[in-house]
Amino acid sequence: MDKLSQQKSGGGCTISKRIVEAYVGEYASGKSEVAVNRALELSRDGRKVNLVDLDIVEPCYTLRPIKKELESAGMTVLAWETRDTIGLGEAGNIIKPECRWALYREGDVILDIGYGVEGAKTLNLLEGVDETPEMQIFAVINVKRPMTSTVPEILDYIKELGPIDGLINNTHLGDETTPEVVEEGARMVTEVSKILGIPVVATTADQEVAKKIGQQDVMGNPVRPLTRFMPRTFW
Amino acid sequence: MSEKPITGEKRAFMTGNEVVAWAALAAGADIMYGYPITPQNEIMHYWTRQIPKYGRKFLQTEDELSAGFTTVGGVLAGLKAFTATAGPGNTLMQEPLSMAEMMRLPVVTVVQQRGGPSTATVIYSQQEVTLTTLGGNGEGMRVVYSPSNHQELFDYTIKSFNTAWKYRFPTFVLGDGYQAKMRESVTLYDPEEKGITFVTPERYVGKPGTPGVDRDPGHYRNTYNTEEELFEVLQQHFADFEKMAPEVIEYSQESVEDADVIIIGHGVVFRGVRDAVKELREEGLKVGYFRPITLRPFPAEQLKALATQGRKLLIAESAQGQLARLVKDAIYGATAEIVPMFRPGVGITTEQIVAKVKEVL
pLDDT in tens, B1-52: 457 898 889 999 999 999 999 999 999 999 999 999 999 999 999 999 999 9
Measure Cα distances from A179 to A112, A140, B188, B279, B314 in Å.
Answer: 26, 18, 21, 30, 42
The ipTM value here is: 0.78
A196 touches chain B (CB under 8 A): no
Give the per-residue pLDDT at B1. 46
- Mean per-residue pLDDT for B197-203? 96
A146 touches chain B (CB under 8 A): yes
B52-61: per-residue pLDDT in tens?
999 999 999 9
Query: Which helix (H) or strand (E) is B236 found in, with range?
Result: helix B227-248
Q: Cβ contact (<8 Å) for A27 and B42? A: yes
Partner residue facing A90 (CB), from B12, B119, B185: B119
Band of residue A233 on the pLDDT scale cut at 50, 70, 90: low
B70-90: per-residue pLDDT in tens?
999 999 999 999 999 999 999
DSSP, residue by residue, A90-104: SS--S--HHHHTGGG
Of B330, B326, B302, residue with least CA distance to B144 = B326
Which residues in chain A are closer than 8 Å to B188, comparing Cβ atoms? 146
Q: How is domain B9-194 classified at the architecture level of CATH? A: 3-Layer(aba) Sandwich (3.40)
Structural domains in chain A, CATH included, are 18-232 (3.40.50.300)
CA of A16 vs chain B CAs: smallest distance (Å): 37
Give the per-residue pLDDT at B113. 97
B248-277: per-residue pLDDT in tens?
999 999 999 999 999 999 999 999 999 999
A145 touches chain B (CB under 8 A): yes
Give the per-residue pLDDT at A11. 42
Give domain limits for chain B.
9-194, 251-360
CA of A65 vs chain B CAs: smallest distance (Å): 14
Q: Cβ contact (<8 Å) for A61 and B22? A: no
Give the per-residue pLDDT at A96. 82
Q: Cβ contact (<8 Å) for B13 and A172? A: yes
Question: What number of C-beta contacts closer than 8 Å exist between A and B?
Answer: 50
**Chain B interface residues (partner A, CB cutoff 8 A):** 10-15, 18, 22, 38, 42, 46, 49, 119, 121-123, 181, 183-185, 188
A108-135: per-residue pLDDT in tens?
999 998 766 666 676 777 889 888 999 9
Q: Cβ contact (<8 Å) for B123 and A27? A: no
Which residues in chain B are closer than 8 Å to A148, comparing Cβ atoms? none
Give the per-residue pLDDT at A54. 83
CA torsion sign for B144, B147, B150, B155 is: negative
Measure Cα distances from A162 to A29, A61, A95, A157, B58 in Å.
Answer: 17, 25, 21, 9, 27
Q: Do domains B9-194 and B251-360 have the same CATH topology?
A: yes
Q: Which CATH topology does B251-360 take?
A: Rossmann fold (3.40.50)
Query: Which helix (H) or strand (E) is B292 found in, with range?
Result: strand B287-292
CA of A14 vs chain B CAs: smallest distance (Å): 37
For A36, list phi and psi in degrees, rounded to 5. -60, -45
Across A3-12, A92-101, B290-299, B310-319, least confident range: A3-12
What distance separates the 2 farthest-apart alpha carbons in chain B? 72
Give the per-residue pLDDT at A7. 42
